[in-house]
Amino acid sequence: MAFATVADRAEGDGMTVSFGEAFKFWLKLGFISFGGPAGQIAIMHRELVEQKRWISERRFLHALNYCMVLPGPEAQQLATYIGWLMHRTWGGIVAGGLFVLPSLFILIALSWVYVAFGHVEWVAGLFYGIKPAVAAIVIHAVWRIGSRTLKNPRRTPALWVIALLSFVALAVLDVPFPLVVLTAGIAGAIGGRVSPAQFSTGSGHAAADKDYGPALIDDHTPTPPHATFAKSRLAKVVIAGALLWLLPMGAIVATQGWNATLAQMGWFFTKAALLTFGGAYAVLPYVYQGAVEHYQWLTGPQMIDGLALGETTPGPLIMVVAFVGFVGGWTKQVLGPDALFLGAALAATVVTWFTFLPSFLFILAGGPLVESTHGNLKFTAPLTAITAAVVGVIASLAVFFLWHIGRTPSGGVDTVALLIAAAAAIALFRLKWGVIPVIATCAVAGMVLRIAGLA
């Protein structure tokens, strides 16, 4: 199967990409997609725009800008979008699915090592060093997102106020995360009408200004029939999506009951999937409130460890939810004490399913509808306000992490952990190290210090 309009291109170069060739690339991408959203998008741009020429620069950015509007992991949605544009529904499912599956299998394995051997001295030392690195990474995320969204405070004071109030709401008042997002969106909708200039900061992606030569999906390649809006097609996708949610949830409820751990995980992470504006860091406070404080599927320190594992594996960072599911399934013994691993792996899979299902539906159902709204202030102003709120939300997460890693079990100050966090921050901000080298170096340092009895 090849892109439907290739034969009609003026260049007539006969470029086609079979479904099998695309499948191989998406599988490869699932294993090399390190570096968070920015790194993953950069990898796709290099491979698809610059080298393979499957899509032009402008069409790539157009798709990316659409994915930025949606809740959920934009890199995974971008892969789904391009796969769907090239090879219809199954192309999108394969591209988005293979972006996630390798990470799921890797995290299940690492989570098992964590719960089964985490008490071993050298393993505990590794995580002792990783936790401060994660705190520094979150602080770096605050700066990275904030520098894109919060420009000159004299020009956009409203966005700064929204960010500050969001920080106070989460860090001090313990306001539920969904309420913070909803309030920010309403403020943006109102502010976009009252003071449009403060909420028209754009998507943060520069316009396309490079030409890498003819592409399979070029600037002027017509939108294929399957990507144009049709009520019947929309109805089919919505019905299919509803069934894909109802059938597994119904099976879980029928066998274990609505109050069972697996059912509550499915429902909780469905809600989380609809709130991930701004990426994984933004939704982590909500996951913490639910998974740690309300359901007690895992502890706060375990949550930090899970984020560390998520940072070191390929795939979207929101895959940390698989770790949450695994540890929760293990702790709650969802299939009984004699099937701890099987129950935990099932919980991780259930959590992943309900977290990512909405992302596929947003692309397959909403793609033809939402593309035309791009650049319309009444749609982008609420998103801009939510992104500003996300800065405050992630800042509250950074404070939470620093508070936990900076305390000893006896309640004192853990100076060594704070020094590791400071060194990691210097490596990220000043030395421009990548996430993986920072985590690896801090992990080794933690292990050495723990074995030497210095931590």
Spell out the domain ranges in the chain: 15-216+228-451
User: Given a cut of 90, is residue 332 above it in pLDDT?
Assistant: yes
Residue 121, pLDDT above cutoff 50: yes
Q: Can you tell me the distance from the alpha carbon of 177 to that of 179, in angstroms, rounded to the nearest whole number? A: 5
The two tokens of residue 234 are 């929309």
What's residue 200's pLDDT?
63
- Kindly calculate the radius of gyration of the chain based on its CA atoms and give it in whole angstroms: 22
Spell 228-267 as b/e; 16+ CB within 10 A means b: eeeeebeeebeeebeeebeebbeebbeeeeeeebbbbbbe
Q: Give the bridge partners for 413, in sequence order.
A: 407
What is the rounded distance in angstroms from the CA atom of residue 245 to the CA atom of residue 253? 12
3-state class of 248 per DSSP? helix
Q: Which pLDDT belongs to residue 65?
A: 64
- What is the pLDDT confidence band of residue 345, given thresholds at 50, 70 and 90? very high
Alpha-carbon distance 295 to 347, whole Å? 14
Rounded to an integer, what is the distance from CA 9 to the centroid of its chain? 36
Give CA–CA dist 306/312, Å, rounded.
10
Instruction: Tell me how long the chain is.
Output: 455
Listed in sequence order, the residues at least 6 apart from 414 whose beta carbon sits closer than 8 Å to its beta carbon are 405, 406, 407, 408
157-185 mean pLDDT: 83
Residue among 43, 47, 45 nearest 35 (CA): 43
For the chain, the average pLDDT equals 82
- The residue with greater pLDDT, 236 or 59, is 236
The answer to whether residue 7 scores a pLDDT higher than 50 is no
| Residue 133 CB contacts under 8 Å (≥ 6 apart), including other chains | 308, 420, 421, 424, 438, 439, 441, 442, 443
Q: pLDDT band at 354, cuts 50/70/90?
A: very high
How many angstroms from the chain centroid is the CA of residue 241? 20
Alpha helix (H) residue ranges in 45-73: 57-69
pLDDT attached to residue 305: 83
DSSP 8-state assignment for residue 72:
S
